[in-house]
Every structure is written in structure tokens, then in C-alpha cells.
């Protein structure tokens, strides 16, 4: 029986000194994986790419996924220090602000989100929208570092899927978001506004230059013809040996053609036009209007 339609939780245990515990929590509506990255010694944790549930038919939001993550935090006696996102997601809403309010933790994302916000202000014809410096506590630059408990974390700029995507590298764990998929699925799309297949190739090469035992945790999984259970972890060595798009020996030009040909067949995610104007507010809804309701602005015939 397929588990792609069920929530799944898996623990990737610390491999020793300076290595984090990682829990992956699969969100079946969007095929997203949410993460808890924790220092085994101090029990301090970061929550990464947590989903705010959204029904694209009714435009109703819910916090089921967020609650599941927080229940897991409580179960393992963790304290949340950071609420992190790797990029402004196009296929799901982020729970960043809700988590910051609930936990008191610092929320963060990459600094190039300022440029993404400028791009989408134009698409939405909303020149005063998206104050990312207000809504995110930290805007990380390439090479920035911070700590989860006693663990060091390094930030890598990883553009391609979006122009501002970042990877969080915590010793032998790297959260590589929408760059790589599982080895049997290849890589992520690069055709959204501000995306670039050539940039994605370069970002993936940087990720695959990490030590071969590094555990790579991806942003999405949709299964495959042979696999009806979600997966989200594989080592650098496994990707270099087996990834169907970028394994060792792959030619850059061949990869770009494969990726761009595939992207040309893909439609927009059904949540995208709602998600961007919420995620560029760190997961907050637009200000309520006089009747107390919140409204989104949708560009017709723009895409």
C-alpha cells in the first residue's frame, strides 16, 4: 500500500561528535519534507521548511503539519532556537511566523529574498508589499554561520530553483531543499521566475563537493515508478554514484538539456500564486480588511 498519501516520520541519528540528530516529517499534500535538526548534547533544535497547510480549493489554512512537528519537538525534549526556510516556496505555505510566535525562536531565510520580493512586487503590482527585513529576523548571506546548541552551521547560497535559495550545512548533515531530488528522481525544476538551470547545475556541484559521507536532506519527494514510499536522505557518495541527472561523468550541457526539456512540460504548482505572496511575508496572511477577512491578489493571464 502506498505511503505517499500518508504522513511519515523518520529519524536519522547523529553519527557521533558534532553530528546532529535529524527528523524528517513528510507532508503528503505537497510531497514536502519538514525537518528538525537538533544538537544531541544540548537538545537545542532548528525547524527547517515547516509547512502551513493550505487548501487550494477553499483557500483555507491550517496548522496540522506545524503541530505535528511541535509534538515531535516535545516528545524528544527539544528546545527550538531557530525557525529556518531555504527559500520562498512556490508549492506550499511556510509556517515561519506562526512558529516564531509559538516558540519565540529566531526565524531566518536567505538575504536574496529581498530580490525575490522585488520580482514578485512587479508580478502582483504591489509596490509596497513584502517587507522581508521586518518579517524575518535573520537574512543569511553566502558563507554566514550560526550555531544550533553547540553545533556549527554554515550557509551556502544555492541558486537555480530560485535566485535566493540557500543550503544549511550542519557538519555531516546538509539541507539541500529544491536542488537535488532522491537519486532515482534526479533534480528539481529551475523554471520559476528568477530560476536558472545553469545556476542549479553549479549549486549542485558545490553540494556534491561536500564530504562523501554527508547526509543530504532534500525538499520534496513524489516517489517513482519503482517506489511508492517517500524518501529524503542519501549521502553525497550515493548521489555521485547513482543520481540519474548528475552522477559522476554527467556532462553539463547534457544536464541542462534534460532539465530544461523536462521543465517545459511542467505546469505551475496549484498553490504558487497564493504561496508567494504569503511566504514573502514569512507565512503571514496579508493584513485583514475592514470586514476582518484576508484577501490575496491574483494576476490573471500573467503566466
Q: pLDDT by residue (tens digit) across 129-157?
A: 999 999 999 999 999 999 999 999 999 99
Class of domain 8-272: alpha beta
Predicted local distance difference test score (pLDDT) of residue 298: 92
CB 138 within 8 A of CB 107: yes
Whether the per-residue pLDDT at 292 is higher than 80: the answer is yes
| CA-based max dimension of the chain | 60
Predicted local distance difference test score (pLDDT) of residue 224: 85
pLDDT band at 5 (very low <50, low <70, confident <90, very high): confident
Alpha carbon dihedral 81, 83, 84, 88, in 10-degree steps, equals -170
Three-state secondary-structure class, residue 148: strand
CB 176 within 8 A of CB 167: yes
Beta bridge partners of 38: 21, 45
- Listed residue (4, 59, 61, 55) closest to 28, CA to CA: 4
What does the domain layout of the chain look like in residue ranges?
8-272
Whether the per-residue pLDDT at 245 is higher than 90: the answer is yes
CB 218 within 8 A of CB 182: yes
CB 86 within 8 A of CB 25: no
Q: What is the pLDDT of residues 180-189, one digit of tens each?
A: 999 999 999 9
Predicted local distance difference test score (pLDDT) of residue 303: 86
Percentages helix, strand, coil for the chain (3-state, rounded to 5) are 25, 25, 50
- Listed residue (153, 147, 167, 146) closest to 44, CA to CA: 147
Helix runs in 107-230, H state only: 113-124, 132-135, 197-207
- Say how far apart CA 257 and CA 239 lie, in whole Å: 20
Which residue, chain included where needed, has cell 529566531? 106
Beta-strand runs (E) in 149-191: 151-157, 166-170, 173-177
Which residue has better confidence, 68 or 223? 68
CB 87 within 8 A of CB 167: no
Helix runs in the chain, H state only: 64-75, 96-103, 113-124, 132-135, 197-207, 236-242, 252-263, 272-279
Predicted local distance difference test score (pLDDT) of residue 257: 97
Three-state secondary-structure class, residue 272: helix
Amino acid at each position: 500500500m502506498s505511503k505517499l498519501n500518508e504522513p511519515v516520520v523518520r529519524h536519522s541519528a547523529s553519527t557521533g561528535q558534532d553530528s546532529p540528530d535529524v527528523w524528517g516529517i513528510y507532508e503528503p499534500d505537497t510531497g514536502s519534507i519538514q525537518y528538525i535538526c537538533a544538537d544531541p548534547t544540548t537538545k537545542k533544535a532548528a525547524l527547517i521548511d515547516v509547512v502551513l497547510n493550505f487548501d487550494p480549493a477553499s483557500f483555507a489554512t491550517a496548522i496540522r503539519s506545524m503541530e505535528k512537528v511541535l509534538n515531535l519537538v516535545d516528545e524528544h525534549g527539544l528546545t527550538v532556537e531557530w525557525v529556518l526556510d531555504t527559500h520562498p516556496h512556490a508549492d506550499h505555505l511556510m509556517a515561519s511566523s506562526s512558529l516564531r510566535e509559538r516558540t519565540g525562536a529566531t526565524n531566518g531565510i536567505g538575504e536574496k529574498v529581498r530580490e525575490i520580493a522585488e520580482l514578485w512586487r512587479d508580478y502582483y503590482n504591489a509596490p509596497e508589499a513584502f517587507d522581508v527585513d521586518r518579517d524575518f529576523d535573520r537574512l543569511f548571506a553566502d558563507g554566514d554561520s550560526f550555531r544550533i546548541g553547540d553545533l556549527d552551521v554554515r550557509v551556502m547560497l544555492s541558486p537555480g530553483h530560485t535566485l535566493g535559495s540557500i543550503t544549511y550545512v550542519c557538519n555531516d548533515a546538509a539541507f539541500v531543499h529544491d536542488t537535488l531530488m532522491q537519486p532515482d528522481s534526479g533534480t528539481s525544476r529551475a523554471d520559476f521566475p528568477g530560476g536558472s538551470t545553469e545556476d542549479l547545475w553549479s549549486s549542485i556541484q558545490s553540494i556534491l563537493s561536500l564530504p562523501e559521507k554527508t547526509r543530504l536532506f532534500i525538499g520534496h519527494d513524489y516517489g517513482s515508478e519503482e517506489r511508492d514510499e517517500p524518501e529524503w536522505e542519501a549521502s553525497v557518495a550515493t548521489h555521485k554514484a547513482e543520481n540519474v541527472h548528475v552522477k559522476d561523468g554527467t556532462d553539463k550541457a547534457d544536464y541542462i538539456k534534460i532539465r530544461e526539456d523536462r521543465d517545459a512540460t511542467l505546469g505551475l504548482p496549484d498553490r504558487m500564486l497564493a504561496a508567494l505572496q504569503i511566504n514573502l511575508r514569512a507565512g503571514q496572511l496579508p493584513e485583514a480588511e475592514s470586514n476582518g477577512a484576508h484577501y490575496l491578489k491574483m494576476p490573471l493571464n500573467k503566466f
